[in-house]
């Protein structure tokens, strides 16, 4: 088969999302752009203010979300309406469990459908503070059964973590981990570790269950023995937590960061910290921010509870702590800021591990395999 005929069999890819920002790191920066580079026509349908095009990806906007009811019961129909206007031979990739119903309807219309399961949905539901406690069990069961149905019927399943694969048929389930784009970090203008500001950094969703209070208390104790600035980047959950934290603690808050801005912040830091509470949801989680810290050459203070600790151990790339013990957290912070040579060596080992083994460029090979298998 010549190159032209190979291109002709590539189906257009349409990514559907309901709870992610338009230029989400996994969906847009990693998956959509990688597929465009591989010669696919890629578009996205999701809540946004206007249609646009960026980096070869066409974005079709549906009206921005107005609240929980809108997200669950109105927005999916808007997304479905636009999806049905796309070429019938397209492959549709569902990125949020709350629009799995859209995928079911698309299958009824004879479309090819992929589900990219970013999270362990039933487990995640059990921790949703906005759901009444009595409703969490039935709601989680509903999504467990819905994912089972979709797993049996959809054309392929992508999972971001090994634990999620247990819910889906082995023969059409692909593990594509959310590892960093090594290229984005490798091509950044080198910033010698010794010239970086004395900054301790945490980026992402800032919430109590993700260890925010333990990080803040640990940093407050550490500040009595070492000189550094604590930098927070991201968004608070719930939003009301922001005023409480900024009133009580001394931090530099940068709000939500674009991917490129986040990379800049990491290269202007000396230590990364990510210590979620040791609940079931985070014991099997692969926190992408931890890998991004490593990619930027930062030694990482991470939780000793959970599977992700193995990555830190593999390269001796940081210090593992009891995430609920603020004194351990403080001691780790102090040690890294008062032992800069050892801290730099940890960061270099972690960065080498990401560049050689745990990066998106390697995961992308599996992504292309998924869409080749559906197009064939």
- Quick one: pLDDT at residue 343? 99
pLDDT surpasses 60 at 5:
no
Average pLDDT over residues 57-84: 91
Look at residue 8 in the predicted model and tell me its pLDDT: 54
CA distance 246 to 266: 21
Is the pLDDT score of 4 beyond 60? no
Q: How far apart are CA 272 and CA 203, in angstroms?
A: 9
130 pLDDT higher than 80: no
Task: Name the fold adopted by 182-356.
Answer: Rossmann fold (3.40.50)
Predicted confidence (pLDDT) per residue in 16-62, tens digit: 999 899 999 999 999 999 999 999 999 999 999 999 999 999 999 99
pLDDT, average across residues 255-281? 94
Residues 115, 192: Cα–Cα separation, whole Å:
41
- pTM strictly above 0.75: yes
3-179+360-375 under CATH 3.40.50.2000, yes or no: yes
Provide the residue ranges of all domains of the chain, joining segments of one domain with +.
Answer: 3-179+360-375, 182-356
The whole-number average pLDDT for the span 190-206 is 95
Statement: residue 129 has pLDDT above 50:
yes
% of the chain with per-residue pLDDT over 90: 84
Confirm whether 3-179+360-375 and 182-356 share one CATH topology.
yes
Q: Are 91 and 13 in contact (CB under 8 A)?
A: yes
128 pLDDT higher than 80: no
Of 117, 97, 210, the residue nearest 162 (C-alpha)? 117
- Higher pLDDT residue, 154 or 72? 154
CB proximity list for 84: less than 8 A, separation 6 or greater: 106, 109
Residue 7 clears pLDDT 80, i.e. is over it: no
Return the percentage of the chain with pLDDT > 70, whole number.
97
pLDDT tens track for 223-248: 999 999 999 999 999 999 999 999 99
* Average per-residue pLDDT for the chain: 94
- Segment 212-232 shows an average pLDDT of 99
Q: Residue 83 burial by CB count (10 A; 0-12/13-18/19+): exposed, middle or buried? A: buried
- Strand, coil or helix: what is 113? strand
Segment 149-176 mean pLDDT:
96
The reported pLDDT for the residue numbered 1 is 43
Instruction: Convert the pLDDT of each residue in 287-324 to its tens digit.
Output: 999 999 999 999 999 999 989 999 999 999 999 999 99
Average pLDDT of 91-101?
97
DSSP at 210: G
Residue 283 has pLDDT above 90, yes or no: no
């Amino acid at each position: 088969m010549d190159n032209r005929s190979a291109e002709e069999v590539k189906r257009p890819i349409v990514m559907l999302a309901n709870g992610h920002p338009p230029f989400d790191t996994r969906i847009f920066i990693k998956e959509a752009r990688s597929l465009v580079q591989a010669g696919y026509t890629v578009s996205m349908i999701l809540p946004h203010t206007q249609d646009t095009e960026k980096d070869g990806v066409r974005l079709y906007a549906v009206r921005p979300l107005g609240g929980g009811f809108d997200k669950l019961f109105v927005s999916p129909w808007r997304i479905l309406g636009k999806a049905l206007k796309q070429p019938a031979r397209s492959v549709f990739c569902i990125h949020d469990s709350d629009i799995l119903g859209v995928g079911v309807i698309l299958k009824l219309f004879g479309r090819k459908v992929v589900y990219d399961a970013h999270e362990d949905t039933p487990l995640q539901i059990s921790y949703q503070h906005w759901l009444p406690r009595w409703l969490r069990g039935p709601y989680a069961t509903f999504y467990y059964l819905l994912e089972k149905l979709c797993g049996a019927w959809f054309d392929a399943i992508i999972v971001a973590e090994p634990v999620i694969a247990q819910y889906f048929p082995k023969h059409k389930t692909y593990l594509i981990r959310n590892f960093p784009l090594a290229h984005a970090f490798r091509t950044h203008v080198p910033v010698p570790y010794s010239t970086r500001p004395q900054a301790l950094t945490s980026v992402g969703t800032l919430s109590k269950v993700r260890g925010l209070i333990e990080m803040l208390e640990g940093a407050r104790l550490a500040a009595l023995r070492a000189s550094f600035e604590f930098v927070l980047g991201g968004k608070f959950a719930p939003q009301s937590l922001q005023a409480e934290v900024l009133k009580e603690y001394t931090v530099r808050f940068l709000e939500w960061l674009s991917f490129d801005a986040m990379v800049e912040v990491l290269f202007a830091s000396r230590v990364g910290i990510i210590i979620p509470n040791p609940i079931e949801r985070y014991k099997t989680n692969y926190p992408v921010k931890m890998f991004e810290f490593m990619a930027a050459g930062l030694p990482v203070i991470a939780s000793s509870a959970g599977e992700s600790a193995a990555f830190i151990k593999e390269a001796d790339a940081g210090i593992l702590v009891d995430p609920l013990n603020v004194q351990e957290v403080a001691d780790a912070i102090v040690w890294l800021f008062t032992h800069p040579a050892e801290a730099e060596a940890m960061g270099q080992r972690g960065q080498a591990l990401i560049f050689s083994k745990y990066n998106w460029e390697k995961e992308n090979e599996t992504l292309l395999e998924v869409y080749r298998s559906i197009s064939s």
